[in-house]
Structures are given as C-alpha cells and as structure tokens.
C-alpha cells in the first residue's frame, strides 16, 4: 500500500506515522505538508519507506496530482470544517481509499453524503477515526449491541484526562485548543427529540451511567452527535458530552460568551483555554465511581425493560501497572494510534466495504479494533497495557 499522509508531520499525525511505518502491508508513506522543511525533517526521523513533499491543499490541481498512484489518503489537515469535504472529494475522484480524524461537526453530514460517490468509485472512506470521534463511537456501538433497541446515545470524555502533545505546545495557538473554542462557542448541532437541532454548547446534561453515581456532562460540538442517527433510525437523542477539567466552570462559560459577543478573539480564547487546562491536576482517583476518561453510553430496551450500558476505558485493571501506564498516554497517542490502526486494517483488507462511513457504521469490528489500539499504544509508550478485557469495562444496568 502507498499512503499519502496530508498533514502527516502534525502533532497528532506523527504518532500515527511512527506506528504505520512498521506495518508490513504498508510499502510507502509520503508525508505532505505546506511547510516542506517540516515534512522533510519529520520524514528523516522515520524509516526508508517514508519520504516528504510540499503540498498546499488549497491548490486543487496540486492536491489532485499528489494523489496519483496513491492507494490511501490519510488526512489530518485541519480545520476539517474547511478542508475535510474537498480533500475527501478529491480522494474519491482519484480512486483512493481515505481515513481521517475529523472532529468537527460542521462537515460531517456533507462527508457522509458522499457515500454514493465513494461506492461508485469502489473506495472505502472512514471519517473520524481517532479518540473522539473514533474510540467513543466504537465503545457506544458495543453498548448498543448489548440492547434489543436503542433510544439514546451519549459519547463523552474527560476534558482534563489527557495531556497536550509537546509539539502542539510549541505552536502559538495549537489546533486542539482552537478546535475546543470552535466547539464551545456559537451554536452546535446535536440530535435531540428525534431531530437535528442547533443548541448553545456547554449546557449541562445528566448521565445515568450504570454502576456510577449520576454525573453531569456538558454539550460539546462533535461529529458523534450527528453520525449515530445516520445509522440508527430509532434514536431519539444523540449527544456528545465532556466532563472534568474546566469544561463546566463559570470561567470557561464566561470565556465562550466573550467570544460570542465579539469581545475576545478565538485565538486569544484558545490560549486562555490552554492555560486553564494546564492548571488542572493530572492525578486520577481510580475508585470504581471515578468518571470515565472516555466512554460510549446507550439507553434503550432489554427484554422489554428500560436498560442502559456504558463502555469505557477501565479504571480497575487487573494489572495495576497497566493503570499507572495510562499516565504515559497523551492526546497525540490516543488520537494518532487509532488512526494508525485504521490504516493497518485498510492495508490488510480488514476494512473492505465501499462507501463513506463513520466508525460505528458496522464496517469495523470494535473488539478487534480496540484490541489492536491497545497493542499499538503499548508499543508507542513502551509499557504494557494488557488485553481488551483488562482495559475495557462494560457496565450493564441489569447486572
């Protein structure tokens, strides 16, 4: 397989490419970046499968030419609300498979609507295959499959649960914080009461997670809220939530409001947000009632009764060393490694359906994928994490 990695030297993509270079089914990786020096510098740290090119994705002719002879386009070039749809369109017209870590809700439905074009071209495209979206979708899919029918899906994560990548910290305004500002200001789209609607972000929602004390999440704009109703037609609610860190604080809501009324730029808000997150404690309470770092939750019916299931990274691994090793996993690893595993599955033919899909579409086996992610994460941090059963906790309301 020959891969074009657009934005491949970025802070999230670096982790994906470091893993991907070692896959036997991958023959060549071309790192593409608007800054050729950055692309060359990063490529020089990898093995001889990897080369680099300069690419401006706003140059449609250059973008098209860069995909000649490519099997799979890996897109980590943000912001996705600007570049996601045109890059996917070009990949489809070029006959290239496609995978990305799109975490913007704005282009999500437009990208899914390219499904027919992708099917006609015989290519497979998966959008949002990182941590959230990505792992969250597959955890929620596991939860859904435990039920006879589903009416509500929440995906969520601890906003203070992972550290910011060192490469991103060196940027004046890193992409992760800019993304966060975009998703907590203005209005965002969710699925509620059986319809898509625009709502003000950061609104509090109670999560009756089985086995835990009810906790509060705050609405964040994200693709998961839009993709689940695309596949599960009986859903009434689909919402993405964040808890922990400063996400529910008065200060953060005040910052968002200052942006909304034009008294604070998004760039400055991103800097303030980054500072706030850096003030948060990295210590984790590992009791059974501690809120999950990342999870998928489904509510519906089981044997005719109301029931709910939560699936998350466990805080109670049998191997206590594995629990401590989570501290070594940052935002780069937890986002880039799932992307690498998606590339691997494409290269090995384990993702083989034509069309445009989000992770929960059914074309990815969630158990196999998460098992592969745990294995690759262990390699990335050079510490053991254990198997699926040791790391993934499934809470059922009827148990």
Q: How confident is the model at residue 142 (pLDDT cuts 50, 70, 90)?
A: very high
> Does a structural domain hold residue 64?
yes
Both 122 and 237 in a single domain? no
pLDDT in tens, 316-350: 544 444 556 777 788 889 999 999 999 999 999 99
Both 382 and 276 in a single domain? no
> Does a structural domain hold residue 327?
no
Both 190 and 306 in a single domain? yes
126, 221, 289, 371 from 297: Cα distances, Å: 22, 17, 16, 19
Output the CA torsion sign for 201, 207, 209, 215: positive
Both 144 and 245 in a single domain? yes
pLDDT at site 399: 92
pLDDT averaged over the chain?
88
Q: Nearest CA to 359 among 150, 126, 146?
A: 126
> Does a structural domain hold residue 261?
yes
> Does a structural domain hold residue 325?
no
Residue 203 is part of a domain; what is its CATH number?
A: 3.30.360
Residue 43 is part of a domain; what is its CATH number?
A: 3.40.50.720
The partner residues of 189 in beta bridges, in order of sequence, read: 198
Residue 159 pLDDT more than 60?
yes
Q: How confident is the model at residue 50 (pLDDT cuts 50, 70, 90)?
A: very high
Both 305 and 186 in a single domain? yes
Instruction: List the structure tokens of 133.
Output: 């979206």
pLDDT at site 178: 67
Size of the chain, expressed as the number of residues it contains: 399
Both 58 and 199 in a single domain? no
Both 47 and 101 in a single domain? yes
CA distance 208 to 216: 9
CA distance 377 to 175: 22
Q: How confident is the model at residue 221 (pLDDT cuts 50, 70, 90)?
A: very high
> Does a structural domain hold residue 355?
yes
Both 349 and 371 in a single domain? yes
Q: Nearest CA to 240 among 160, 183, 300?
A: 183
Instruction: List the structure tokens of 349.
Output: 């033919």
Both 346 and 210 in a single domain? no
Both 41 and 80 in a single domain? yes
| 3-class secondary-structure state, position 132 | coil
Both 377 and 312 in a single domain? no
Both 139 and 286 in a single domain? yes
CA distance 267 to 119: 39
CA 332 to chain centre: 11
Residue 248 pLDDT more than 70?
no
Domain that holds residue 340: 2-130+332-386
Domain count of the fold of the chain: 2
Greatest C-alpha distance within the chain: 61
Instruction: List the structure tokens of 335.
Output: 């986002």
- A 10 A CB-CB count for 285 gives 8
Average pLDDT over residues 38-59: 97
Percent of the chain past pLDDT 90, that is, above it, reads: 71
> Does a structural domain hold residue 96?
yes
Region of poorest pLDDT, from 88-97, 173-182, 261-270: 173-182
CA distance 253 to 263: 14
DSSP state string for 328-355: G--HHHHHHHHHHHHHHHHHTTSS---E
């Amino acid at each position: 397989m020959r891969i074009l990695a657009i934005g491949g030297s970025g802070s999230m993509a670096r982790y994906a490419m470091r893993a991907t270079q070692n896959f036997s089914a991958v023959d060549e990786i071309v790192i593409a970046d608007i800054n050729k020096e950055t692309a060359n510098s990063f490529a020089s740290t990898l093995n001889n499968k990897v080369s680099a090119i300069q690419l401006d994705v706003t140059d449609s002719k250059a973008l098209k030419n860069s995909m000649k002879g490519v099997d799979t386009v890996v897109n980590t070039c943000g912001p996705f609300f600007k570049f996601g749809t045109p890059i996917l369109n070009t990949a489809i017209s070029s006959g290239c498979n496609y995978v990305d870590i799109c975490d913007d809700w704005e282009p999500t439905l437009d990208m899914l609507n390219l499904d027919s074009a992708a099917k006609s071209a015989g290519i497979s495209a998966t959008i949002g295959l990182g941590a959230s979206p990505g792992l969250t979708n597959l955890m929620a899919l596991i939860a859904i499959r435990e039920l006879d029918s589903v009416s509500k899906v929440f995906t969520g994560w601890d906003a203070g649960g992972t550290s910011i990548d060192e490469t991103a910290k060196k940027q004046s305004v890193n992409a992760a914080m800019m993304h966060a500002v975009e998703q907590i200001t203005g209005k965002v789209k969710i699925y509620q009461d059986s319809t898509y609607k625009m709502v003000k972000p950061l609104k509090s929602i109670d999560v009756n997670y089985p086995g835990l004390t009810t906790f509060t999440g705050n609405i964040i704009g994200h693709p998961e809220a839009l993709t689940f109703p695309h596949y599960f037609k009986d859903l009434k609610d689909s919402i993405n939530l964040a808890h922990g860190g400063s996400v529910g604080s008065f200060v953060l809501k005040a910052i968002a409001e200052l942006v909304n009324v034009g008294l604070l730029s998004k760039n400055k808000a991103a800097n303030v947000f980054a500072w706030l997150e850096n003030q948060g404690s990295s210590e984790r309470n590992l009791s059974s009632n501690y809120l999950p770092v990342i999870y998928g939750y489904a509510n519906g019916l089981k044997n005719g009764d109301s029931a709910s299931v939560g699936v998350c990274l466990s805080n109670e691994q049998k191997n206590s060393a594995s629990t401590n090793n989570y501290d070594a996993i940052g935002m780069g690893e937890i986002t880039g490694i799932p992307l690498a595993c998606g590339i691997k599955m494409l290269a090995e033919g384990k993702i083989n359906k034509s069309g445009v899909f989000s992770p929960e579409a059914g074309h990815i086996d969630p158990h196999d994928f998460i098992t592969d992610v745990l294995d690759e994460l262990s390699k990335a941090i050079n510490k053991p994490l254990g198997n699926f059963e040791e790391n993934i906790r499934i809470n059922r309301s009827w148990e």
